[in-house]
A = this chain, B = another copy of it.
Amino acid sequence: MKDKMDKKPTITTSCSHTSLQIFHGARKEGMKSIGIAVGERPRVYEAFPLARPDDFFLIGDYKDLLKQEVAEALEDKGCVIIPHGSFVEYMGSKNFKKIRIPVYGNKAVLDWESDRKKEREWLEGAGLKMPRDIKSLSDIDGPVIVKYGGAKGGKGFFIAKSREEVENRLNGKREYIMQEFIPGTRFYFHYFYSPIRRDGYRVAEGSLQLLSIDRRVESNIDEIYRLGSISELQERGESPGFTVTGNINLVLRESLLGRVLDMGARTIEESLRLFGGLWGPFCLETVIDKDLNIYVFEISARIVAGTNIAVPESPYSAYIEPGLTTGRRIAQELKYAYKNRVLDRILS
């Protein structure tokens, strides 16, 4: 890959998820950008001129990116792929790992993030609190979420306040897993880790930032109170939905910030120990209970859609650099690595 690293990187991502933010960030840093789209040029960028990519690259299917001629065409343009949640989903995690085009970030993280057991090994290894997995009905001693196998995007989940309620509601013929439900308030922390710069919060050989915080808006669970309690609906045989429709902006109680930075730091350190490290943007998805315990229920090892609320800047990035977003921070990192000839250390 080394020889591909001589070109000035062209910020490249698929036209969804956080692409407006990524292209906008590239433009702010004077970097070229390319939007990958299936079929035809998406019209949405007409409405947002400062977030338009410099060019589009149309494909028939995401698997095309595995074809040699496509990879070569993109490499010729100096493309570096910025992965986001939809990009990985569109391609499938397996295919994504086969991409020959340089990808920003460590592809090895995919194995650790998509496997629930490995994710737990990683995060608990880093000393983070997680909601317990509950193996059997007799282990239930408080509220739980029950997730049927194959249920997607929250469909087929249900929430129960007790063992009795689980037993009443459970469809025993379907496979399911149970997880402790932590009553609290959700905070999604948007970190950025640079292994090549040392000007922020020092972690290992690099530096960590907290760029913003969001809370997801999920349909219909987040406005279900307008209709009645979730228990009433579940009793009527309806499942609440947990489909993400948007995000709101949040700040955290300042006295918890130290702990949150430390959590990010330990996540990085453990990733270095386990699989060569996580770098770039990542997100710890948490719920904070009434005793201020912070439980991590998931990690996203790349830019999350919640960062879109932190445009043009957040109450945290304003303390780092005016006008800083995660999208822009990515562009800064690639520019810095290019100038300092260390691109190979942040691509995979």
Contact = CB atoms under 8 A, between A and B. Distances in A.
A154 interface: yes
Contacts of A292: 219, 243, 245
A200 B47 contact: yes
A229 B161 CA distance: 11
Interface string A30-67: 00000000000011101111110000000000000000
Interface in A174-232: 181, 183-187, 199-202, 208-210, 213, 217-232
A271 interface: no
Interface stretch (A15-23, A128-136, A273-281, A334-342): A15-23
A200 to B, nearest CB: 6
Interface stretch (A72-80, A94-102, A318-326): A318-326
Contacts of A218: 185
Interface in A246-273: 246-258, 261
A236 interface: yes
A254 B305 contact: yes
A238 B177 CA distance: 25
Contacts of A322: 312
A114 interface: no
Contacts of A201: 43-44, 46-47
A258 B210 contact: no
Interface stretch (A2-10, A115-123, A283-291): A283-291
Nearest to A241: B290
Contact of A291 (B230, B243, B289): B243
B233 A232 contact: no
A258 B256 CA distance: 36
A315 interface: yes
A190 to B, nearest CB: 12
A258 B46 CA distance: 10
Given A183-B227, A290-B154, A43 B261 contact: yes
